Structure 1
């Protein structure tokens, strides 16, 4: 922490650096596992996908790989206090929040636009499990539970974005202070030096021809003294 910089907090008392460290570590770990499993399933000869399923799996695996790389950058940035890496992580979280909001709102609108019969049919999806069939009968409860869960996730994601952005601003302030201190330390301190080997009375005896008010003898110090 640079001198004079106030450490930003989250959850009232914890430094934001801890949040970025833990969050990026957990996200890059989970994204790496998911990406690895998806790529293994796509490339393995034991798993057979049709055209659409394979395309969807490749797209999702690619997104998880990108997320893994970005979260790894955020984790490294929190360790070495790199503003550029943490800023990249912060921007990615903001884009993910926007994408989540867009897809979630579309899903909510689609869910509430279906009639009760259509919703039940899609929910059951041909299942023969009686418990699942019974659960699909609670249409209104399911709609509001799903909507509440999505809103809760958005609020958590938004708070995480705010916390990470706080750490980016803190790193910007630290870099600014460090740059200022470095600039001051590299400068040459002025040292008093004597102008020359000139007697202190020489200026009075031989004044220079300059527009100086008291260089004239009539205005000089002591000109009005009585002999």
Structure 2
């Protein structure tokens, strides 16, 4: 069933506008951060880590561009752009599941000692060491929760944008079914309705002044004013 409102009571167009705007900004920021992280790699980086980061960077780059076109579509009320954006969001949910599974696999298969060592990265700051140890302790729950919330948000975004796309399609079909000129149109009168005006005159009984109704009455003489 297509959505009709955003967050229960807000206009669905506002929802599509906010979703496309935030996804464009956030996905662009994540893509930039991932590409920056990749550019800063030095030394021996595990292959699965490289593959995970590069795949996610490419995904978020494409995601940001698609969200930009969706943002333009909401401003222009373009059903075609929004349909493409909704279609991409539908595929993005599936791709997000695959990437999140790959990310979780890479995160949980790295030995904890190696993870803490890479996190500390030779730092002697006790705060950094404590932060890395705490993340190793509590980070699993945070990672799983962030993945789950991200998937739910992504699915809801597709639901809203897809609903607005269907709404625009319905409006276009409704306008196409209504005649463009539904006002009054002049219809020329038929021959029968004009014969009384253009036909010859005929004499008939009591048509003359002497035999007409009131013909014998005295002529009306209005009183003169004093």
Structure 1 residue aligned with 2:151: 154
Structure 2 residue aligned with 1:171: 168
8 Å CA contact 1:28, 1:67 repeated in 2:
yes
Distance apart, 1:152 and its partner CA = 1.1
Distance apart, 1:14 and its partner CA = 0.5
Residue 110 of structure 1: which of 106, 110, 120 is its match? 106
8 Å CA contact 2:3, 2:159 repeated in 1:
no
Note the 1:25-40 alignment, pairs <5 A.
Answer: 25-29=21-25
1:114–1:120 Cα change, 3 Å: same
1:143–1:178 Cα change, 3 Å: same
Structure 2 residue aligned with 1:17: 13
Q: Which one has the largest radius of gyration?
A: 2
8 Å CA contact 1:77, 1:83 repeated in 2:
yes
> Which structure 1 residue ranges, 4+ long, deviate > 4 Å from structure 2?
29-39, 47-50, 59-63, 66-69
Structure 1 residue aligned with 2:70: 74
Higher mean C-alpha deviation, range 103-112 or range 26-35: 26-35
C-alpha RMSD over aligned residues: 4.4
8 Å CA contact 1:7, 1:15 repeated in 2:
no
Distance apart, 1:153 and its partner CA = 1.5
Give the whole-Å Cα distance in 1 for the aligned partners of 2:102 and 2:60.
Answer: 20
Distance apart, 1:11 and its partner CA = 0.7
Unaligned runs of 5+ in 2: 193-226
